[in-house]
Chains A and B, each alone.
Chain A
Amino acid sequence: MSKICLRDLLAAVSCFPSNADAELSLSSLQVVSLVERIEETFDIRLTSRDVTRKSFRTESSLADLLRMKGCDVA
Chain B
Amino acid sequence: MRITRFDTLGEVGIVSTSHFLPERRMATRDLFAEDAALADELDRLTGIRERPVADPAHATSDLAIHAARPLPDLERVSSLILATMSPDYVSPATAPLVQHALGLPGIPASDIVAACAGYVYALDAAARAALTGDDRVLVIAAELRSRILAGAAPGVRCLFGDGASAAVVGRSPCVLRLLATATGADGAGHSAVRIEAGGTRVPTSHRTIDDNLHTLRMEDGPMVFFKAVEGFVEIAEALLQKVGMCARDFDWIVPHQANLRILERVARALRVPIERFVVTVETTGNVGGASVGIALDRALKDGRIRPGNRVLLLTAGAGFTAGAAILERTDVA
Pairwise interchain contact A29-B41, C-beta atoms closer than 8 A: yes
Pairwise interchain contact B226-A56, C-beta atoms closer than 8 A: no
Pairwise interchain contact A29-B226, C-beta atoms closer than 8 A: no
Which residues of chain B from 274 to 299 have a CB within 8 Å of any chain A CB? none
Smallest CB–CB gap between B270 and chain A, Å? 13
Q: Which residues of B contact A32 (CB under 8 A)?
A: 45, 222, 225, 261
A2 contacts chain B at the CB level, 8 A cutoff: no
Which residues of chain B from 32 to 73 have a CB within 8 Å of any chain A CB? 41-42, 44-45
A-B Cβ contacts below 8 A, count: 35
B223 contacts chain A at the CB level, 8 A cutoff: yes
Pairwise interchain contact A47-B226, C-beta atoms closer than 8 A: yes
Q: Which residues of B contact A51 (CB under 8 A)?
A: 222-223, 225-226
Residue interface bits A24-41, CB-to-B below 8 A is 1, else 0: 000111011001000000
B220 contacts chain A at the CB level, 8 A cutoff: yes
Q: Contacting A53 at CB < 8 Å: which of B42, B220, B230?
A: B220
B128 contacts chain A at the CB level, 8 A cutoff: no
Residue of A nearest to B223 (CB): A48
B194 contacts chain A at the CB level, 8 A cutoff: no
Residue of A nearest to B229 (CB): A48
A46 contacts chain B at the CB level, 8 A cutoff: yes
Pairwise interchain contact A29-B45, C-beta atoms closer than 8 A: yes
Residue interface bits A9-34, CB-to-B below 8 A is 1, else 0: 00000000000000000011101100
Q: Which residues of B contact A47 (CB under 8 A)?
A: 226, 230
Pairwise interchain contact B155-A28, C-beta atoms closer than 8 A: yes
B227 contacts chain A at the CB level, 8 A cutoff: yes
Residue of A nearest to B265 (CB): A36
Q: Contacting A48 at CB < 8 Å: which of B41, B226, B261?
A: B226
B108 contacts chain A at the CB level, 8 A cutoff: no
How far, in whole Å, are A18 and B229 apart by their CA atoms in the complex?
33
Pairwise interchain contact A48-B45, C-beta atoms closer than 8 A: no
Smallest CB–CB gap between A24 and chain B, Å? 12
How far, in whole Å, are A52 and B41 apart by their CA atoms in the complex?
21
Residues of B within 8 A of A (CB): 41-42, 44-45, 155, 220-223, 225-227, 229-230, 261
| A to B CB contacts below 8 Å, 28 in the list | A27-B41, A27-B155, A28-B45, A28-B155, A28-B221, A28-B222, A28-B225, A29-B41, A29-B44, A29-B45, A31-B221, A31-B222, A32-B45, A32-B225, A35-B226, A46-B226, A47-B226, A47-B230, A48-B226, A48-B227, A48-B229, A48-B230, A51-B222, A51-B223, A51-B225, A52-B223, A53-B220, A53-B223
Add 15 more A-B contacts to A28-B225, A31-B222, A32-B222 (CB < 8 A): A28-B155, A28-B222, A29-B41, A29-B45, A32-B261, A35-B222, A46-B226, A47-B226, A47-B230, A48-B227, A51-B225, A51-B226, A52-B223, A53-B220, A56-B222
Residues of A within 8 A of B (CB): 27-29, 31-32, 35, 46-48, 51-53, 56
